[in-house]
Structure 1
């Protein structure tokens, strides 16, 4: 009888152990439901695709941003290159001409490179050059009056602008403001199937919409920056037109340093790029504005 009791107790222990193991497996398989959805994911209705995000959410990059006191300090930034490009080449002509670093750190593999070009204005030389190399080029401009189309074997055009929202947005500067269709960088990448693909070159010549791009990426999707090798931007700093600070006296250096000045806004984004691993390797004046190119080193 004692032996039978021990056998029964042993059977109960095995049953309890089986139940505990089953509960552990069930908990692990469903515990993702307890994860907190980020404010960005909640705002846009569904969680983003699962992927490592070491520089987002609770793991955001800590970045020191020095104060900006004058326009002289602002322009000094462009004279202090953080990386020396040994093999600098020019792609495009006239207003479409952009500097591209062809060093091994940014090696572009023909037939396996990807370029996003925002802001065309009917100047295709930059996009066509990359397309001729065999790169897949995705060109965007909502202001040209052209529908989506395949320009060539490797160059595809979209009537769409870049912004920090999905929908209609006023695009342009001064009296040239008008409503056009825009979307966020994260949505555009997903639409193209490039979310986890290396972007060899990202060009932004978008009449101040670069501010909305930087705001959205730095605040909401900084993890997307690690897939970009080079970023080229025409910076519309010191703009005094409709929609921003119109009271600044451009002859008074200190007046441009108000909190809503484009100088202050761009200054912060320059340093955030640095904190995410981007180094300035080229800058030049283009009329009133400055063109700058950063590499992800």
Structure 2
């Protein structure tokens, strides 16, 4: 009887052990799959696989840009586009500085000659550097006032002389073999302007320097001597040439100008007393002449003669 009970207990015990073994197996398998990977931290997002990108097609080669044209050499630039020299103009501080500037000679002319007489005459430098040859020279004379000694003297020397004055009441004509007269004045416009001499002022035909050279066929020719005695119209000439046609200055070898600046810069304004004009004010001509004189210097012009005649200054420049 006891043996029978023992066998029953052993069967029950084996069954219990089997159940326990099965439960333990289930727990082990469950814990194995739920345990996080040892090479990945808990709560770390799983790596996302990037989509595979197909390679872009190679772009079509762009056409090479055409090379930029090389700048033209300076000596081939159009004449009205030639580079201008860098010009530093010192400030004008007083009237004495203005006077002293024109007293100082920049060029020592060894051989001088007067062409014309009295107020109509001008000093001419005859140095070899001027290349002033008889029968091969050209002279432009602005401002005649019926005083022909300068023009006739150069004509006798053998130069072709072109004379201009709109205030004499004379029409264009050939005065002599070498002197041609034009009823025309010089200014910074083409048209009519109030010009004159002394009490004889009025509106007359004027033109710009460049246009006048075209008219007489001397645009590309050397001007051996240019004379301006035009009662303050010299300011119009300077303004026009330096602004519009500075390349024409290189063709001038000698430049004679009577500067009508006045005692204190009043110019031709005789209605105002000298003391009423401040020498350096905006109403004075001195700063304007000062600027143009230094611009001439920048273009290679050198003073070889100057003469103070009352309120005016007669100046002759040479350009080598």
TM-score range, shorter chain: 0.7 to 0.9
Alpha carbon RMSD of aligned pairs, Å?
Answer: 2.5
| Structure 1 outlier segments of 4+, above 2 Å | 50-54, 172-177, 238-242, 244-247, 249-252
Residue pair 2:185, 2:207 contacting (<8 A) in 1 also: yes
1:256 to partner: Cα distance: 1.3
Q: Identify unmatched segments of 5+ residues in structure 1.
A: 1-23, 29-49
Structure 1 counterpart of 2:266, from 229, 236, 240: 240
What is the count of residue pairs matched by the alignment? Answer: 248
Q: Which has the larger radius of gyration?
A: 2
Aligned to 2:170: 146
Q: Greater relative contact order: 1 or 2 (C-alpha under 8 angstroms, separation 6 or more)?
A: 1
Aligned to 2:3: none
Structure 1 counterpart of 2:290, from 267, 270, 273: 267
Residue pair 2:167, 2:200 contacting (<8 A) in 1 also: no
TM-score, normalising length from structure 2? 0.72
Aligned to 2:319: 296
Write the deviation string for residues 152-175 of structure 1: whole angstroms up to 9, x where unpaired: 000000000000001111103675
Residue pair 2:266, 2:283 contacting (<8 A) in 1 also: no
Q: Identify unmatched segments of 5+ residues in structure 2.
A: 1-65, 70-74
TM-score, normalising length from structure 1? 0.78
In the TM superposition, 1:169-184 aligns within 5 A as 169-172=193-196, 176-184=200-208
Q: 1:140 to 1:271 in 2, by over 3 A?
A: same
SS of the aligned residue for 1:265 comes to: helix
Q: Does 1:80 align with 2:80?
A: no
Residue pair 1:283, 1:291 contacting (<8 A) in 2 also: yes
Q: 1:240 to 1:149 in 2, by over 3 A?
A: same
Residue pair 2:105, 2:305 contacting (<8 A) in 1 also: yes
Q: Does 1:133 align with 2:157?
A: yes
Residue pair 1:93, 1:125 contacting (<8 A) in 2 also: yes
Aligned to 2:93: 69
SS of the aligned residue for 2:308 comes to: strand
Write the deviation string for residues 185-214 of structure 1: whole angstroms up to 9, x where unpaired: 000000111000000000000000000000
Aligned to 1:10: none
Aligned to 1:278: 301
